[in-house]
Amino acid sequence: MSYTGFGVYQPPPPPRKPNRAPLWVALGVVGVLAAGGAVALVAAGSGDEPAAPSSSSPEAPPWQVVEDPRSGVVYELPPDWESQGGGASGRIALGSSYVSRPFECQGRNMIQAQAVAGSLVEDDPGQVGTELVNRLAASGYTVDGAPPTIGDPRVEGDGDRVVVSVEVTPEAANACFAPKARITAVALRNGGEVAVFALNVAEGGPHVAEGPSEDDVERILGSVRLP
């Protein structure tokens, strides 16, 4: 099967989880639930007495601030996203890669979203952003040799900051895959280089809750900046 998830590279498993299989970006369609049971978090009381109810909802953990070691671009991610190291996508050297909370479907370790960042010696942010989203779409959503349908890039901004996004529709279906995806790149001029961040999100399907919400996506993309 030629589908390779995000399609940039297959990073080695993190040292703390030596037996983890490669992660696949989920394109889940109807009717399949992730394997494994729910985990309940409870507050412990003293002795055998039940814990007193809290007068206010627990404070959400802070988002993590990531500084890409290759380009210096800074961005923010939900606290439960995991680092997967660096790599490359064509001409673009990637210094950091993070994935949303992994889950299992039909024996595969999968994810619903991934964020990467890196840089390229180039003076056109729009060109770099378009190159990255098209490459990630073509390689990341080819299933059983069938390339996806990639929409025309939508380009916003000019000068030093450009945002490029594409819609991706895989041509092959699988019970673990979603019907579509969106890849968005934020490209920033940084001296003689372009620093670029890309967010790949599989949209829809039974595993959509494992990925970022629309508000999360907006916050992640809005956080991308140079220090």
Strands 24-25 and 108-111: parallel
pLDDT digit string (tens) for 79-89?
Answer: 999 998 888 88
The torsion angle over the Cα atoms of residues 216, 218, 221 and 222, rounded to 10 degrees, is -110
As a whole number of angstroms, the distance between CA 101 and CA 126 comes to 30
pLDDT in tens, 110-137: 889 999 999 999 989 999 999 999 998 9
Q: Find the range with the poorest average confidence among 25-34, 121-130, 136-145, 201-210.
A: 25-34
pLDDT of residue 57: 61
Helices assigned H by DSSP within the chain: 125-140, 214-223
| Residue predicted with more confidence, 80 or 176 | 80
Cα torsion through 186, 67, 116, 104, rounded to 10: -130
CB distance 31 to 206 below 8 Å: yes
The H or E element containing residue 187 is strand 180-190
- Asked if pLDDT for residue 197 goes beyond 80, the answer is yes
Per domain, the residue ranges of the chain are 24-35+61-223
Closest of 176, 4, 22, 163 to residue 85, by C-alpha? 22
Q: Is the pTM higher than 0.85?
A: no
Looking at residue 25, its pLDDT comes to 61
Pick the CATH number of 24-35+61-223 from 3.90.199.10, 3.40.1000.10, 3.40.50.2300, 3.40.1280.10: 3.40.1000.10
> Could you tell me what percent of the chain has a pLDDT over 90?
50
Residue 175 — very low, low, confident or very high, per pLDDT cuts 50/70/90?
A: confident
Q: What separation, in Å, do the N-terminal and C-terminal C-alpha atoms of the chain show?
A: 41
Rounded mean pLDDT, 126-149: 89
